[in-house]
Amino acid sequence: MKLKQVVEIGKCLSNQTRVEILEWLKNPEANFPPNESGISNKEGVCVGNIQEKTGLSQSTISTYLGSMERCGLLHMVRNGKWSYFSRNEETIQEFIRSIQ
Amino acid sequence: MKLKQVVEIGKCLSNQTRVEILEWLKNPEANFPPNESGISNKEGVCVGNIQEKTGLSQSTISTYLGSMERCGLLHMVRNGKWSYFSRNEETIQEFIRSIQ
DNA sequence: TTGTCATATCGAGAAATGTCGATATATTTG
DNA sequence: CAAATATATCGACATTTCTCGATATGACAA
């Protein structure tokens, strides 16, 4: 993994709420209520459910999730009006290999 | 590892130079000139040699290394007027376990 | 003790990030 | 089409971090 990407991931991990989101998404079914649509939490958790759990504003959480997706920590899939976020385990492993 | 420590490590990894230092210290004998004192680079690299390689000011590098030590990424040992820094592999592994 | 060297700490201004409310966009529903 | 809903983006101000030069500290040498 390139240095720039390591740094971008580091920026995401430099904030308590973002680290918690990453942690919660290890077990999305236990940490979030079921999605309104049929989609399982395993495939991704919608922005609203993450926002509610953190207590921060909608715009802040949307910004957080966007930056976590751009650096590769999270994967996003859109379905209608919802965006579903899940961990991107491949990139996380690459990041780990870069620093260990 | 506690959330706060993960975040402090994240802050250290959010800067290009600090990530490079961590990378260089994987192989200190290849990346730094021998220490003036008898101490091997394997046991730690002194601040001056790290500063010279980065090109940043002495005070900046001292601040960087201090924060990397406080969060547990680096280990420091003092010897006379020198401080020697090396990777703290135990904490690095703990950090990795926290995010994977 | 005085001077020199390596490192640490301080104070400051510049730059980046945090976080919000307001608003824009896009999708679905009536 | 109009309204409602979920998410994204914008603009702004507060806070944090970056990075430096200046200075303090502590160890060693003369």
Residue A68 CA to residue B5 CA, distance in Å, equals: 19
**Cβ–Cβ < 8 Å for B53, B32:** yes
Is residue A59 exposed (0-12), middle (13-18) or buried (19+ Cβ within 10 Å)? exposed
Residue A43 CA to residue A77 CA, distance in Å, equals: 9
Read off the pLDDT band of B53 (50, 70, 90). very high
B68 CB within 8 Å of a chain A CB? no
Nearest-neighbour CA in chain B from A3: distance (Å): 7
Nearest CA to B74 out of B16, B3, B24 is that of B24
Nearest CA to B13 out of A6, A59, A40 is that of A6
Q: What is the pLDDT of residue B61?
A: 98
Over residues A24-70, the pLDDT tens digits come to 999 999 999 998 888 999 999 999 999 999 999 999 999 999 999 99
Q: What is the pLDDT of residue B36?
A: 84
Q: What is the pLDDT of residue A38?
A: 80
Give the mean pLDDT of B4-17: 98
- Which of B:19-38 have CB within 8 Å of A? 19-20, 22
Distance A72 CA to D8 C1' (A): 18
Chain Cα centroid distance, residue B79: 16
Q: What is the pLDDT of residue A36?
A: 84
A97 CB within 8 Å of a chain B CB? no
Q: What is the pLDDT of residue A4?
A: 98
Location of structure tokens 């989101």: A21
Chain A residue numbers touching B7 (CB-CB < 8 A): 13-16, 19
B3-99 has which CATH code?
1.10.10.10
B13/A14 touch (CB, cutoff 8 Å), yes or no: yes
Read off the pLDDT band of B37 (50, 70, 90). confident
The contacts of residue B40 (CB under 8 Å, 6+ apart) are B29
Give the mean pLDDT of B70-97: 98
Q: What is the pLDDT of residue A19?
A: 98
**Cβ–Cβ < 8 Å for B50, B21:** yes
Q: What is the pLDDT of residue B49?
A: 97
Over residues A57-87, the pLDDT tens digits come to 999 999 999 999 999 999 999 999 999 999 9
As given in the structure block, the two tokens for residue B30 are 């290849």
